[in-house]
Amino acid sequence: MRVLLSEDELNQGVSRLADEIDQHYEGRPLTVIAIMTGSLVLFADLIRRLSMPQRVGVIRASSYRGGTTSCDLQVDAGMMIDVTGRDVLLVDDIFDTGKTLERTSEMMKEFGAASVQTAVLLHKQREHLVQVRPNFVAFQIPDEFVVGYGLDYLDMYRNLPYLAVLDPAEIEATAAEVEL
Ligand code: IMP
Ligand code: MG
């Protein structure tokens, strides 16, 4: 496993991200929505660094990859809080194809949000499949499959305090291990 961003670098990146978001909203109340499960760790760190009054909610999105490539997107809004007339900030771990943020942003507008902005820890440098781009980005990363700090492979590695690139042998070994 090759470390791409250390715990210290991630901390600094999240603080920069929070500063940018604070500057944008200038203390106005915000409804912050975590896109689960990948944003779990980032979200906990980010909301504690933001200074405005916040309402906090979650929505679940999964690309049903079962591997390292994205396929059909499923969104579960069963735990969503009311966002009618609210300024909403959607938080996700990574902007890859962009489908998750495109779809969840549309949903927030359908739910009646007054405004929708998006924040991600990572922006993968690759061809995106959508027009939208995240409003706040902590790090640009190369087009590699990464795990840690909330990001998973087969729901493993989310607990790593750093961000790492999995090599093909580790991907294979993890798949074998996860299979019960
Ligand atoms: P998108 O919809 O293609 O932008 O993908 C967003 C979702 O795919 C993210 O929320 C992640 O859960 C997952 N994802 C994309 N790239 C990676 C990666 O390198 N490692 C782990 N998960 C990833
Ligand atoms: Mg995710």
HEC sequence for 29-40: CEEEEEEECCCH
Q: What is the pLDDT of residue 66?
A: 62
Q: What is the pLDDT of residue 63?
A: 84
Probe residue for ligand 1, chosen from 2, 43, 63 as the CB with the greatest number of ligand atoms within 8 Å: 63
Nearest one of 97, 33, 81, 37 to 61, comparing CA atoms: 37
Q: What's the topology of domain 8-140?
A: Rossmann fold (3.40.50)
pLDDT tens, the chain, 180 aa long: 999 999 999 999 999 999 999 999 999 999 999 999 999 999 999 999 999 999 999 999 998 666 676 678 999 999 999 999 999 999 999 999 999 999 999 999 999 999 999 999 999 999 988 999 999 999 999 999 999 999 999 999 999 999 999 988 999 999 998 987
Tell me if 102 CB under 6 Å of ligand 1. Answer: no
Tell me if 157 CB under 6 Å of ligand 1. Answer: no
User: Which ligand approaches the C-alpha of residue 147 most closely?
Assistant: 1
Q: What is the pLDDT of residue 56?
A: 98
Tell me if 70 CB under 6 Å of ligand 1. Answer: yes
Q: What is the pLDDT of residue 70?
A: 64
Q: How many Å lie between the centroid of ligand 1 and the Cα of residue 98?
A: 9
Beta bridge partners of 151: 148
What residue segments make up the domains of the chain, in order of their start? 8-140
* Residue that the structure tokens 């489908």 belong to: 99
Check the CA dihedral 70-74-79-84 and report its sign. positive
* Residue that the structure tokens 């679940």 belong to: 60
Q: What is the pLDDT of residue 145?
A: 94
Tell me if 63 CB under 6 Å of ligand 1. Answer: yes
Q: What is the pLDDT of residue 180?
A: 73
Q: What is the pLDDT of residue 46?
A: 98
